[in-house]
């Protein structure tokens, strides 16, 4: 059985580490480069970097910040935000990323996943999906809808159907971010994570809502997630990576210590 991973996310706005609740009320909380180094030294398994306004501002990703972070860490590092084509993907990989994180652009043009997988290999292609609970309908039978452009634009696309299609197109991993749970620290959306995990054979990363070690343990077991993404728990000093891992290990969850 593979070890469960603890991943942290750096949401970056204008070069500063930022945090929001349900994708609104975003505020700056620190230096992403310093936090990256700190979490790496604590034993983090992987780091995700999102330029959270690159897509909505219709600009390229901040490559100087990506390079600065990459110089501080020696763990798998994925980067997303404003990646619209293969050239954009090459740019972040050359800046130090090991994986590209595709979101809005892949929804608008799904062929981008296939192109990236063919170009870099599926192991380097991550699909990030921002998901909002919606009324069950013929169009959204799961009750979970894909939202793009930083949570600003509902698409009418069913999240489970999109996950299955993304796997077929060549995505190697899926990050499932619950907009409803994002930043609340009230727990991950177990139903959503389990539904996606049950529908694909890819590794699934649960994101949004982590506030305690019990929340992480539950999403890694009941939610069937392969990894848990934590942000607020680390950013605000509530826990260290090692504290999280030690507690999970005591509960019988296999992690890298």
In degrees, to the nearest 5, what angle opens at C-alpha 187 toward C-alphas 183 and 188? 85
Rounded CA separation 93/115 (Å): 15
Rounded CA separation 161/188 (Å): 21
Pairing of strands 24-30, 125-133: unpaired
Whether residue 11 lies in the annotated active site = yes
Whether residue 130 lies in the annotated active site = yes
Do residues 168 and 125 make contact, with C-beta atoms less than 8 angstroms apart? no
Nearest to 104 by CA among 121, 88, 123: 88
Q: Which residues pair with residue 127 across a beta bridge?
A: 102, 174
- Catalytic annotation, pick one of 45, 51, 88, 130: 130
Listing DSSP states for 104-131 in one string gives HHHHH-THHHHHHHHHH-GGGEEEEEEE
Rounded CA separation 50/144 (Å): 22
Do residues 182 and 21 make contact, with C-beta atoms less than 8 angstroms apart? yes
- Write the burial class of residue 226 (CB in 10 Å: 0-12 exposed, 13-18 middle, 19+ buried): middle
Rounded CA separation 131/162 (Å): 11
- Would you name the residues annotated as active-site residues? 11, 130
């Amino acid at each position: 059985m593979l070890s469960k991973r603890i991943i942290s996310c750096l949401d970056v706005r204008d070069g500063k580490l930022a945090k929001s609740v349900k994708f609104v009320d975003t505020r700056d909380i620190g230096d992403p480069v310093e936090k990256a180094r700190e979490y790496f030294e604590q034993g983090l398994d992987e780091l995700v970097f999102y330029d959270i306004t690159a897509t909505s501002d219709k600009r390229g990703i901040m490559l100087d910040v990506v390079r600065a972070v990459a110089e501080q860490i020696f763990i798998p590092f994925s980067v997303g935000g404003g990646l619209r084509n293969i050239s954009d993907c090459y740019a972040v990989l050359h800046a130090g990323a090991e994986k590209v994180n595709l979101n809005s652009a892949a929804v608008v043009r799904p062929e981008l996943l296939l192109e990236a997988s063919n170009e870099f290999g599926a192991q380097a292609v991550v699909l990030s999906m921002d998901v909002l609970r919606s009324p069950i309908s013929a169009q959204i039978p799961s009750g979970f809808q894909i939202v793009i452009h930083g949570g600003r634009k509902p698409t009418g696309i069913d999240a489970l159907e999109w996950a299955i299609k993304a796997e077929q197109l060549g995505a190697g991993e899926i990050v499932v971010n619950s907009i409803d749970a994002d930043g609340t620290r009230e727990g991950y959306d177990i139903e959503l994570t389990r539904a996606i995990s049950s529908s694909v054979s890819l590794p699934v990363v649960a994101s949004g809502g982590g506030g305690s070690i019990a929340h992480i343990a539950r999403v890694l077991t009941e939610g069937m997630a392969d990894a848990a993404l934590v942000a607020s728990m680390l950013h605000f000093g509530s826990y260290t990576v090692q504290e999280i891992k030690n507690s999970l290990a005591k509960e019988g969850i296999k992690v890298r210590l």
